[in-house]
Each structure stands twice: as structure tokens, then as C-alpha cells.
Amino acid sequence: MAATSSPTSRRLPSLAKYEVLEELGHGGMATVYRAHDKRLSRDVAVKVIHPHLRDSKEVQSRFFVEAKAVAKLRHPNIVEVFDVSGEDEGEQYLVVELLRGQTLRKLLRENGAVPPEVSAALGLELLSALGHAHAAGVVHRDVKPENVILEHHAHLGAATTSAMATTSVPSTRPPASGETPGDRVVVKLTDFGIAKLLDAQGVTSTGQVLGSPAHMAPEQIEGGEVDARADVFGMGVLLYECMVGHLPFEGNNPAQVLRRVLDGTYACAERERPEIGKAYSAILDRALARQADDRYPSTGELREALAVELRRVGVTSPRAELEAWFDDPAAFALAHKKRMIARMCELGSAERREGKVLAAAADYNRALAYAPDDAQLLRIVTGMHRAEARARLVKKLLPAIFGALALGVVAFFVTRALKSFPVDAPSLDAGAITLVRPEPSALPVARLDPTAAPSGSAPLLVAPLAPTVRLLAVPSAIAPTRRTITIAKIRPVAGVLVAVDGDPATEAASGKSITVDGKPHVLVFSCIEDLCDPQTRNIGAGDGDEAVEMDLKIKPAKLTIAGDPTRSYVIKEKPILSVNAGGTTDVPMTRKSETFHVRQLGTHEREVEVTLTAGQASRAVFGEEP
């Protein structure tokens, strides 16, 4: 049957086994509807793929492979898949359980930042779901608050397990009989619609950028290899937004956001909101590392890091913590503040007794963030900061002190050794040591020295047997310092040049070594044919070998759509880009030249193939309507 959705006035799709009731929302790949399962008499959610994607054989292939893989996932924190359309049906759709809670995005809009311990407890639930999916070969690739559904039940019992509350209802009652603290909150991760399957055979890679710019890992934006560590990055973004109250990577447009993700520039979480503390901030920094190798290697290790910190601050039941916050956020925040001040002071005091100055200062700092007007805390933190500064100073000076002591010892023994050498000793190298003989007028004269004679004897005449020799231990030829600069990693992997101190550029590749002296040097990296903007790396003076990494960004291509400005246009290979007729769009490139397909949407859909070149402008021309 066909029906009309009042908010959008769009015709609802007609499905044989399901009665489509209303539209719930839409994303980059599909529109989600509430529908009624005619056979099992239950409401479900139906995710119908967009028409302009339905004709793509690759999208079809990915859709069905994904559906089969996600349908195998059985986890309490993953939305269950019930059914998938047949390949001969007019619509392509996925049928999943209908959730009646709210998205994490809506919750963040209404409440702002979430207490760090509540955010971490939420993270444990989602990371458990991702770990299960990764074990089955599924990478989500689009972890964000919009894809997290939260259900909160004021009363949990046999009569209400199927009737879910739609909003959080405060409750201070003790758990009912048979109810475990934390059971009244359900956390579900949904929309594996753009998941990349690690074991998907027969599905080709087009280098598409799929996902939300602010939540995508750098390697995903660049069209590189994506694995479970991309979801670690996505969880880092989600946790940062929950704890801080805003995204780590923000900008005025998607291009700015993408650039900041690729540059890895964001404000430290602890600096943005001191109540978060150094421990959580450090966890977020590792999850958000620019290079995948620098992140937690798996969601399990990120989950364990959060669990360890929760236990350290006294949270023994994360699910109960999550539930208590849902019951009454305002009351929870007040109680949580008092609890954290007491716990952080307790931890800081214990660490001070153990001589852990830096750790104690970090915990006292977090306590002070909750109670900035506490005079006693302020005195403790001020004293700890002085101690921390002294510790840093000592740590900085220790190498110099030990170095000076070592040089003193060496100088003492060298001096003794040199004094024992005769002037004309054959072992002395005339090229290494300069002999300086005094002028005759400066020669010592013979003298009587009573102390040089045996007791009771007459004084002896003491005189040097030879002129005094002053040894200047200054080598006349010192071998210059030689050190190696190794290019540990470079992107792109080919077509990159490096010039040292203005010398002619040579090919740069991962593993290449450059031998230089101990002076400062300047390395300039560039691409052949001016495909990327040059970048400079300064190497300081020293005698140690160094390793450098360089990530050059290939210049985007400029695409202009010549067509009807009232129509919508999309690049099939890069569906997240916004393209409009008459304007110029920067299209990210992974190599010098790539072919894309621009589709004009609407009643008469048309498609134009265009080859784009990095750093150059091209046009996709659409003629008159057929």
C-alpha cells in the first residue's frame, strides 16, 4: 500500500511483507521507516536503500554481503537484523528491530557534556559491541552519536520488557526484586549500513569516503586501508564529545573539518574541561592518534583502559553509574561532584606519600576543578605544582649533572696519565699533541728544599732535569660527526622527492637513509609534477640518528558542474561531498588522475563521466533535459 508521510509529503514505499507506516529518518545510503510485520504482528524498522544507489552493482553487492554479515551478529548492544529484501524485489531494504529510545545525539543536544565516568561507562557498552563485530570481520566505519540508541526504563518487569519508554524518567527507588542495577538502561549501536567487511570477497574497493567527516579516521578519509583501529578513532571522537561537550575536530564546512582530522589538531580534553582529568585525557589522546599504529590496537584494549580508570576512581558497577545518571542527571551531577572530590583527594594523598609527585598533582588538579574555591585544595595543588616543577627541573638537569661528573672523572685520569708520559715518549702523536716549551727566562732555577732530604740530613738542591712541558690535549684533526636521518614512513608511497639544505632533490621512499653531519639541516619534501604542497622538516644539531615521517597531501581537483542550478548532483564515488551547479567543489584525490561519475538526481537522472587531475580544474557538463 502507499501512504503519505505528513512531515515530508513523500510517498512511502510499498513492500510485500511489511506495511510501511511512517518515515523515521534518512542518511547517506538509506531512508528508515517504521513498518508493521504482517506475518509476526510486530513493528519493525525498515532501512530502504536510496534509488540513486540502488542501480549501482557494487552498492548492491556490498549491501547484500553486509546484510548477511550483520545478520549473524548477536550482541546485546547491537541492533538485531530480522530480514533482508530478495534480489528480485523492486526495493532493496534491511529489516531490523525497532528501538523507541532516543539517540545519543539528541541526549547531548539536551544535556551538553556528560560526566566523565558516565561517558566511560557508555563507552564500555559500545566497545563491547564493536569488539564482537570486529571478531566477525565487520568494521562499523561510522561510529557517531546519531548511530547510538539509548533506552531508559523507569520500571523493569515482565509487563514492560517489550514496551520501551521513549524518554528518561527519573527514579530513585531501589532495584525491584530480580532486577540488577543497570538493567533499566539499554545501549544499542546501529547502522552498520556502510560497514566495510574484512572478509568480503568479490566486493571491489572504489576508494569511496563513506561516513561522517568529523568522526572518520584519517586513513578512511584518504581512501587507505581501514581496519578495527578506524573504529577506535571513531570511539575516541564520540567519547571526547561526550566528556567535553563538543567535537574535537570542528570547522565552518566539511573541508575544514577534514583538514583538521588529517592534521590531527584538536584541543586537549583536560584543557577544555579540567573536570575530565589527565587520565581520561591521555586515553582520548591515544584513541585519536593521527597514525593508526599509535592508537590502541583494538577496541578491547581501549575498553580495558577505560575500565581500569573507572576502577581506580571507585566505580565498581559502570552500568549502575549509567543508570543513576539517566534516572536524574542533576542529582547525579551533584553527588558525583562530591564523590570525585573525596576520591581524587584520597588518591592524591596516597600518591604523595609514595613520592609520586606528578600523579598526585594530576589527581589533586581534578579535585580542584570540581571545587575551584576550596582554599585548602588550592594550597595543596599550588604546593604540588611547585614540587612538579622541581621534579621536571631535576629530571632535565640530571643528564647534565651526570655528564659533568663523568667529564670531571675522565679529565682527572687523563691528566694523571698525561703527566706520567715523558716528553719525548714515542707513543705520543706529534699530530695530536702540541708541545710548548717555555722561554729561557721562564725556566725554573735550582733551589734548596729541606723537605726533599731525609730527616736529619742537609737540604738537597732540587732542580728540574728538563724544561717543563705544557701539554695541550687538543687534537689537530677531529673526525666530523656523522649521523643518519631515516625516512621511516612517507605518503604518498611513490612520487615524493626530498632536498637537503637546498641541494638537488632526490627520490624519497620509506626506509631511505640520508647521511649528514652534526649541524642543523633542513629537509624539503615535495611531489613530482607539483602534485602536492611542499613541506619542510627541520633537523636540529646533534650526534644522534633520527627518523622522520612525512604525510604529503595531494592537491584536490576543482570540479565545476555546468547544469541546472535547481537540480541536485552527487559524485557516486564520493557521496558525502556537496556539489552544486555553478559552484566549484574541491574533490580530494589519492593520485594524479582519477575518473568519477557525476549524477544528476531527479525525474530524469543522468550521469556524466569526468576525469579529474590533482590541482587542476575540470567541468561536468549536463545538456538540456531529455
- What residues act catalytically? 142
Q: What size, in residues, is the chain?
A: 626
Cis preceding-peptide flag for 213 (omega within 30 of 0): no
How far, in Å, CA of 241 to CA of 244, rounded?
Answer: 5
How far, in Å, CA of 242 to CA of 252, rounded?
Answer: 21
C-alpha cell read off for 260: 583538521
DSSP assignment letter at 467: -
Task: Look at the alpha carbons of 331, 334, 338, 340 in this order and tell me if their dihedral is positive or negative.
Answer: positive
How far, in Å, CA of 420 to CA of 414, rounded?
Answer: 10
C-alpha cell read off for 544: 644522534
**Helices and strands, counts by H and E, the chain:** 14, 29
Give the 3-state secondary structure of residue 376.
Answer: helix
Euclidean distance between the first and the last CA atom of the chain, given in angstroms as a whole number = 31
How far, in Å, CA of 534 to CA of 223, rounded?
Answer: 21
Across-strand partners of 30? 49
Burial string for 410-438 (b: 16+ CB within 10 Å, else e) reads: eeeeeeeeeeeeeeeeeeeeeeebeeeee
DSSP character string of 231-255: HHHHHHHHHHHHHHSS-SS--SSHH
Interior angle at CA 224, CA 219 and CA 227, nearest 5: 70
How far, in Å, CA of 327 to CA of 557, rounded?
Answer: 51
Task: Sort strands 521-527 and 42-49 into parallel, antiparallel or unpaired.
Answer: unpaired
Give the 3-state secondary structure of residue 123.
Answer: helix
Q: What's the distance, CA 348 to chain centroid?
A: 29
Rg of the chain (C-alpha set): 35
Tell me the C-alpha to C-alpha distance, in Å, between residue 275 and each of 61, 281, 575: 47, 10, 39
Task: Look at the alpha carbons of 447, 451, 453, 456 in this order and tell me if their dihedral is positive or negative.
Answer: positive
How far, in Å, CA of 354 to CA of 621, rounded?
Answer: 72
Q: What's the distance, CA 532 to chain centroid?
A: 24
How far, in Å, CA of 387 to CA of 23, rounded?
Answer: 61
53 and 70 Cβ atoms separated by less than 8 Å: no
Task: Sort strands 42-49 and 30-37 into parallel, antiparallel or unpaired.
Answer: antiparallel
Across-strand partners of 462? 447
Q: What is the largest CA-CA distance in the chain?
A: 134
516 and 542 Cβ atoms separated by less than 8 Å: no
